[in-house]
Amino acid sequence: MASEYDDGGGRSDIPWTVKLVGIIVLGIVVWLAVGFIFATLRFALAIAGYIIVGFLGYELGKWVGRGSSKAEP
């Protein structure tokens, strides 16, 4: 009689191999997502670096150009 009301102890019928594959796939997806985020941040930092160095070089060039134009007679 107990078997009529027994639902397997509350456990699902999903085999442990399917659960293991699901965990591995989830881990790979998370790893790829984190890698994509870091690659995007690295790219943004590189672009910002190029802009900052270019701006500083431009300002330094203006400063040197103004200084050298005053020295000529």
pLDDT value of position 67: 77
Nearest-10 Cα torsion for 15, 17, 20, 25:
-110
C-alpha distances in angstroms, 65 versus 10, 35, 53, 57, 73? Answer: 80, 44, 18, 12, 15
Please tell me the predicted confidence (pLDDT) of residue 3.
56
pTM for this structure? 0.58
pLDDT at 4 > cutoff 90: no
pLDDT at 71 over 60: no
pLDDT-derived band at 56 (thresholds 50, 70, 90) equals: very high
Residue-level pLDDT at 46: 98
What residue has token string 């984190």?
34
